[in-house]
Structures are given as structure tokens and as C-alpha cells.
């Protein structure tokens, strides 16, 4: 059974003749008759009684008419619901870490809000643990977390990739060396994010892969990306930053085999409404466009 056959049946019932129904539907009368024949064959009963120029419903046709009306109303309800969702209106909240909140989301959300005048978005900054808790508790609608993520109650979608680099101020003495090795870093002071930071955990894991005995000399532990950047610009040590947040006053420290990547994921509760899924898709689409504009290394 095809839904169009139900629509054809309803039109014939309301028009009273195959000829009028065919004209309204933009079909030839033989084509319409064939579709009703196929419908009746599948149902195993006759739903229309042909007589002269007009038709009327059989007993089974009366029953089928009631079902058909309900199916048509349900289809119209579905269309109406998805039409409203596509408008993507309402208020939504997002939680993300400092790098994403400061250097990635503003540009992406700016473009989305241009296209969606009925949409309102708020962003709050939080580390990985705070963001995950906020999403799970329903305090925010959507979170952006560093993977991998294993949480059965969340929908998880890959957002973007991020390269992490060791950096220092451009006039740091380390850059006087022709070749920088991991051993050279052991003698330096470090400006790091606080222990709960996802970036800090990624960096520590990578450092241990080079040397298990390497315990960095920590000069500062800071919460905000801006604080880390300002401290590094002032020459207070070596730090690790996302490629997105390296300022012009800082320089990457390049040494062999350093390749540290992390992936960000959009997360939201599985029992959330369809509007949130649509917002997630919109953010992913805008992120892809933004990454393409910045170049192949961005995403």
C-alpha cells in the first residue's frame, strides 16, 4: 500500500466520481482506476461501489475511510512538526572549554544566528568535568568535550580536530638553539593549565610517551586560556596551546616526533527534543564551513 493511494481514495470519496477526482489530482481516469484496483487487491476487499457515473463507499470502504482520515491527519501533523523544527527557534545553552569558547564558537555561532533570527544561544565556559556534568544534569543543552567519550545517555558527534603545540614567547632563549630536543625542555619552567583541564591531560599523556621520568617544573597553573597566553607572552615559561589560540607574540617549539592531536565532540542527552538535534547539525555544518575557510589544517 502506498500513501498516495490513500490520498486518491479520499479524493474519490469526497468528489463522488473518478472523473472529478482524476481532474483534481492531475491524473488520467484510467491511471486513477488502476491505483484503486491495486489498493483493493492489497486490502482484499472492495472499498468503492461503482454505479453509473458516481461511486459510493462499500461497508468496508466506510471503515477504511475512517482509517484513511486518521492517516492523513497524522501525516499532516508530522509535516507541521518538522516544518516548525526546521525554523530552529528558541533558547539553547552550550558549555565548552576555554579554547572552544573563545576562539572557535564565536565565529561559528555568529554565522548561525545570522541565518536563524528566532534563535537565542548562550555559552558558558567550563572544564571537561564541569561541562560533562552540566550536560548530564540538564543544566545546559549541549556540551563540547574532548574525546574519547563513553556515556550511554549522551548522543556524541565529532565536532573538530585540534593540534596542540609547545610554545613560548618569541624571544625565549630556547629558540637560540639550532635543534630543540625533549631534554632541553626538562630544564625549563612551565606555564600549564590546571590539572582538571582536558588539554593538560592530553599534554601530560604525550610527554610521558617521550620520557616517563620527565616531571615538568611547573611555575604556574592557570584556569583561563587568556591567563596562560599572557603569562607565556611575558616570558614566564613554556606552555602548550591549541593551534587556534596561539597569539602572534608566541612561537611554536618544534622538535622531532611531537604530534599531539585531540578531537572535540558535541554531546547532548538522548532524551532531548528534536530541536536540539537540529541545532547540533547546524553547528557541525557551520564548523565544517569555518574550517574549510581557515584551511585544511583546521578540521
CATH code of the domain containing 186: 3.40.190.10
- pTM comes to 0.64
Contact between 141 and 222 (Cβ < 8 Å): no
CATH number at residue 35: 1.10.10.10
pLDDT-derived band at 86 (thresholds 50, 70, 90) equals low
**Tens of pLDDT along 129-169?**
899 999 999 999 999 998 788 889 999 999 988 899 999 99
- Boundaries of domain holding 130: 90-160+263-294
Question: At CB < 8 A and 24+ separation, what contacts does 49-55 make?
Answer: 53/17, 53/19, 54/16, 54/17, 55/12, 55/16, 55/17, 55/18
CA distance from start to end of the chain: 46
**Cα-based distances in Å from 120 to 82, 129, 275:** 19, 25, 13
**Same domain, yes or no, for 111 and 35?**
no
**Same domain, yes or no, for 179 and 251?**
yes
* 268 Rama sector, left if φ>0, alpha if ψ -120 to 50, beta otherwise: beta
**Same domain, yes or no, for 44 and 109?**
no
**Same domain, yes or no, for 133 and 169?**
no
**Same domain, yes or no, for 108 and 29?**
no
Read off the C-alpha cell for 293: 575557510
> How many structural domains comprise the chain?
3
**Tens of pLDDT along 275-297?**
888 899 999 999 988 877 665 44
Instruction: Answer positive or negative: Cα dihedral of 202, 204, 206, 209.
Output: negative
pLDDT for the residue 131? 92
How many whole angstroms separate alpha carbon 262 and alpha carbon 279? 23
Phi, psi of 238 (to 5 degrees): -105, 145
Phi, psi of 290 (to 5 degrees): -65, -45
Amino acid at each position: 500500500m502506498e500513501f498516495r493511494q490513500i490520498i486518491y481514495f479520499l479524493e474519490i470519496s469526497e468528489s463522488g466520481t473518478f472523473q472529478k477526482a482524476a481532474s483534481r489530482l492531475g491524473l488520467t481516469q484510467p491511471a486513477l482506476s488502476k491505483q484503486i484496483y491495486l489498493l483493493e487487491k492489497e486490502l482484499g476487499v472492495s472499498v468503492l461501489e461503482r454505479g453509473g457515473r458516481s461511486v459510493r463507499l462499500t461497508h468496508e470502504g466506510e471503515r477504511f475511510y475512517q482509517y484513511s482520515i486518521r492517516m492523513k491527519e497524522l501525516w499532516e501533523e508530522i509535516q507541521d512538526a518538522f516544518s516548525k523544527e526546521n525554523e530552529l527557534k528558541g533558547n539553547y545553552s552550550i558549555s565548552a572549554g576555554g579554547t572552544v569558547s573563545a576562539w572557535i564558537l564565536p565565529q561559528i555561532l555568529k554565522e548561525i544566528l545570522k541565518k536563524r533570527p528566532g534563535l537565542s544561544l548562550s555559552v558558558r565556559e567550563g572544564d571537561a568535568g564541569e561541562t560533562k556534568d552540566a550536560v548530564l544534569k540538564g543544566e545546559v543543552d549541549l556540551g563540547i568535550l574532548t574525546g574519547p567519550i563513553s556515556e550511554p545517555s549522551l548522543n556524541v558527534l565529532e565536532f573538530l580536530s585540534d593540534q596542540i603545540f609547545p610554545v613560548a614567547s618569541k624571544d625565549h632563549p630556547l629558540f637560540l638553539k639550532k635543534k630543540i630536543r625533549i631534554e632541553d625542555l626538562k630544564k625549563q619552567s612551565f606555564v600549564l593549565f590546571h590539572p582538571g583541564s582536558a588539554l593538560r591531560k592530553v599534554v601530560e599523556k604525550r610527554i610521558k610517551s617521550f620520557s616517563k621520568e620527565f616531571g615538568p617544573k611547573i611555575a604556574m597553573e592557570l584556569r583561563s586560556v587568556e591567563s596562560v597566553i599572557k603569562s607565556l607572552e611575558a616570558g614566564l615559561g613554556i606552555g602548550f596551546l591549541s593551534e587556534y589560540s596561539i597569539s602572534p607574540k608566541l612561537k611554536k617549539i618544534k622538535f622531532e616526533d611531537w604530534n599531539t592531536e585531540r578531537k572535540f565532540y558535541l554531546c547532548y542527552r538522548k532524551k532531548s527534543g528534536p530541536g536540539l538535534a537540529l541545532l547540533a547539525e547546524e553547528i557541525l555544518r557551520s564548523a565544517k564551513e569555518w574550517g574549510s575557510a581557515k584551511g585544511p589544517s583546521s578540521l
